[in-house]
Copies of this chain bind each other. A is one copy, B any other.
């Protein structure tokens, strides 16, 4: 018992991977099955992510489809795609039969189009087939794309005792019951019950009497991120999905929402870092290059823009050539302030914690930029003049430029995400290299304009 319980501490060791690889090579099916049966399917998926493709396929074909279907769902997407290529449409259909409808539809949607219909045709359970076909019709970024058809549904006219009897049947197909949904005779959602309500009620009571009519729900075409927000705000672990006539279609569970939240957080983080597609450290160099090069190009054009600004002013600068040494200072400051401002706004927009008043927010950023700018400018003035020995008038020029550049960068960093959000564009694209590049160019331009005005070259 004690040993068995330790498997929560599962750690993928090199020894274990090698042991599995050897058992596969020597086709020791019985021992392999015995070894793997001790592990959770999520742990087996971790092992299969490490071995080669033939070996992974071997294990998937060896184990029972009720385990392997779960393993497939946990595999890294790229590896799953390749393993599925090695399986016949009949074998895939067998895996599909074991999966909940939402996972089944996700797997089928990942297949090449020409195989999709073939696999669907080979599903023997007709209800399952019809439900999966229905789910495939929804956009994957909506409540319909997230929901499963598995749920426990009772009619308002049933008694508690009758309900318990029928639930015993329905619940077999439903891994976690969460709520029991109460519908009228047209399948319109009218309330909910918890299993707890049911077991604490008297058996002759009518469902209508004990149902809670305050049932949260989402419409089938609601965006996945909005479903996540609703479930998080109201602390829900499952939410029913209805069509426009309030007919109960399915339910979304918290584990799907956790995945949505994780994807959104990773996407925003990557956009802020200048990576334009959903990539991982282990992806191919080609995929990583495609994700990274576009932002580097944007940065390069910004750098070249800055170069022409410098060339322009350089011609008349004369004695004040020392100004060029402080271009990196101006650029770094503009970039950092821009990223800070935009990140806070993007996060606020994502959390709906920012109200729409653009002017109020810009004014606040203006004050904030002024405070930060004064602090940085004072320190900069002291260091450039007393340590670098820069002439007093040049140090003052740099200090004034720093204040102006910080205020400008803060305003641009705040304005652009809010503007994009109002236009219905994801404000997260305006973070990272986008903001730094525009701020680099504007910052350097502002620096020289101010220097020219003060120093009069």
- Residues of A participating in the B interface, judged by any CB pair closer than 8 Å: 1-2, 4-5, 7-8, 40, 42, 164, 167-168, 171-172, 174, 176-177, 189-190, 194-196, 199-200, 213-218, 230, 232-235, 237, 246, 254-255, 257-258, 261-262, 265-266, 268-270, 272-275, 279-282, 285, 288-289, 292-293, 295-297, 299-300, 302-304, 306-308, 310-311, 314, 321-322, 324-333, 335-337, 339-340, 342-345, 347-348, 351, 353-354, 361, 364, 367-368, 371-372, 375-376, 379-380, 383-384, 388, 406, 431-433, 436-437, 440, 444
Can you name 25 A-B residue pairings with CB atoms under 8 Å? Answer: A7-B214, A8-B230, A42-B233, A171-B200, A261-B265, A270-B344, A272-B273, A273-B340, A273-B343, A274-B340, A275-B343, A281-B354, A285-B368, A289-B372, A295-B340, A296-B372, A296-B406, A297-B379, A300-B380, A303-B328, A306-B332, A307-B325, A314-B324, A328-B444, A332-B440
Known: A258-B258, A285-B371, A302-B332. A314 touches B325 (CB 8 A): yes
Give the residue name and chain of the B residue nearest to A275 (CB).
B340
Contacts of A353 on B, CB cut-off 8 Å? 280-282
Shortest C-beta distance, A330 to chain B (Å), equals 7
Can you list the 8 inter-chain pairs with the closest CB atoms, starting with the nearest? A303-B329, A273-B343, A306-B328, A265-B265, A281-B348, A310-B325, A299-B336, A307-B325
CA distance A240 to B261 in the complex (A): 24
From B200, B270, B314, B433, contact of A336 by CB (8 A): B433
Cβ–Cβ contact B328 & A307, under 8 A: yes
Which of the listed residues A343, A368, A383 has the most CB atoms from chain B within 10 Å of its own CB?
A343
